[in-house]
Structure 1
Amino acid sequence: MEKDYVYSFDQPFEEININVEKDITLNALLFKTNTTSKGLILYFHGNAGAIHEWGTRASLYTENKFDILFVDYRGYGKSDSFYEEESELYNDAQKVYDYAKTRYDEKNIIVLGFSLGTGFAAYTAAKNRPKLLILEAPYYAWNDFIASIAPVPKMLINYEIPSYKFLKEVTCPIQIFHGTHDFLIKPEENSKRLEALYPEKIKHTMIKGAGHNGIYITKQYYDELKNLLERY
């Protein structure tokens, strides 16, 4: 995507460039609720597409009184550079979280990850103190299932991204959503294994009939999310 690409959405937004290293910035979009905000949801998206597409689902969260920040990883959308080391993924996740804390009290931040982004979200929640971690279609560890996943950027193939290790350090509540018909990141091999490791801190909700990319368009997810965010 060209740097001069102009975003267009049905609701107001702010485009932000977050500096993560010298001469490297990540492009992000902040959408604000039209009522009194309860805080921020920091959204780590999946492998496919960039935030010009992910941003179209912002209303799911702003309608529930939360602002939401979508960020593109290196090599995605208008973000700079590419990843050469796994440690750079974690550095970037922390820098984005640090930016979020300059605008919101940490006690009002929720971290959310979908698919690829669940590992980044788990790491971020482990190293900080958000009030809630939401994982949608999470993997046990990236390298555990990489052989069976759809094509991904070469830069990510050899990374471990061990979500199961990160979740051990998470102190906030964890909510997992996973589709019953997710044949890409299979719940039995991933989210249910995570739940079994940490049953005291994880609530696991299966979204009936949903495939890997179909969780957020179901009525069940809409209702579950609404009920969840009302509590926070």
Structure 2
Amino acid sequence: MKTKAILTLLFVLTLQFFNAQMDDKFYQPKKELKPIENMKYENLSLPVDKDTITAIFIRPAAAKPKATILFFHGAGGNVSSYTFMIKPLVDDGFQVVMVDFRGYGKSSGTPTHKNVAEDGQRFFDIITKREDVKNTKVLLYGASLGSQIATHLSRINKDKISGLIIDGGMSSFADIASAFAPDYKSVIEQALASVYAAKEDIKFTQGLPKLFIYSKNDRTVPYSQGELMFANASEPKQFLEFSEDHLLAVKEKPADVVKAVEALLK
């Protein structure tokens, strides 16, 4: 009887594990916002279900922006943790909208793979209809974990955007989890089998200009995942390599990053 009870308990725990899709292992939000200095920005909020997601709309000094970048940040922190990545682009004339999904910064609720995808599309629909956005070219920028939703939205909205930027992005939720827990790869892959994967979504962005930014010295996302993303992507595409750690291309090669982003618009 004890053996049967133990097996039943393990079965129930396994079902809970699979249903949860390990959301809490991927999203590590922080509520406290750092000061955002030397940039003009507007606070935005959007109701979703019983929660609210927030964003900041950062404007360049130029009256007419070169394009609009919708920026999706990584697993930790909040929008204020990633403003260093977009400042050179704002200085170059791009306007940037950075979103905090549920649980991050001023946004309420708890992030899950499902609500991030749903909220991401709703956010995209509302932002791109704004008067100060709808007559501009739109680029999606996914940093680290944000690569998953950015690529997913690019697949769905391919004809509404002008380019996709993947900076230090993992090839899938399952791939990055397996990289850190290789002994549990088969279990992880089963648990996350139904979750959108950038390495698959990127295959459906034909004709969309794409930029991939990766470092061989990245200690967070294996360089091989960047190679896989690039291999799965169709032309036109660019690959920008740098040598610093995760998401630090803009500190090592700010001019090269800006130039590569500008090339998406040509």
Partner of 2:250, secondary structure, is helix
Give yes or no for the alignment of 1:139 onto 2:170.
yes
Larger Rg: 2
Provide the C-alpha distance between the structure 1 equivalents of 2:146 and 2:162, rounded to a whole number of angstroms.
18
Provide the C-alpha distance between the structure 1 equivalents of 2:238 and 2:134, rounded to a whole number of angstroms.
25
Q: 1:70 maps to what in 2?
A: 98
TM-score computed with the length of structure 1 as normaliser: 0.85
Structure 2 stretches of 5 or more lacking a match?
1-29, 182-190
Provide the C-alpha distance between the structure 2 equivalents of 1:180 and 1:53, rounded to a whole number of angstroms.
23
Give yes or no for the alignment of 1:126 onto 2:159.
no
Give yes or no for the alignment of 1:224 onto 2:260.
no
Task: Name the structure with the higher helix share.
Answer: 2
**213, 218, 223: which one aligns with 1:177:** 213
Give yes or no for the alignment of 1:98 onto 2:125.
yes
Partner of 2:74, secondary structure, is coil
Q: 1:31 maps to what in 2?
A: 58
Q: Deviations over 1:8-50 (max 9, x none)?
A: 422211000022x233221100110111212210000011211
Matches within 5 A, 1:202-217: 202-207=237-242, 209-217=243-251
**Identical positions, percent:** 18
Q: CA deviation at 1:106?
A: 7.0
Matches within 5 A, 1:1-80: 8-19=36-47, 21-35=48-62, 36-80=64-108
Alpha-carbon contact 1:149-1:185 (below 8 Å) kept: no
Going from structure 1 to structure 2, the CA distance change for 1:2 and 1:110 (only over 3 Å counts) comes to closer
How many pairs are equivalent?
218
Q: CA deviation at 1:2?
A: 6.5
Q: 1:155 maps to what in 2?
A: none
Going from structure 1 to structure 2, the CA distance change for 1:223 and 1:55 (only over 3 Å counts) comes to closer
How large is the RMSD of aligned CA atoms in angstroms?
2.3
Q: Deviations over 1:70-111 (max 9, x none)?
A: 111111111111135x32221111111112212212761000
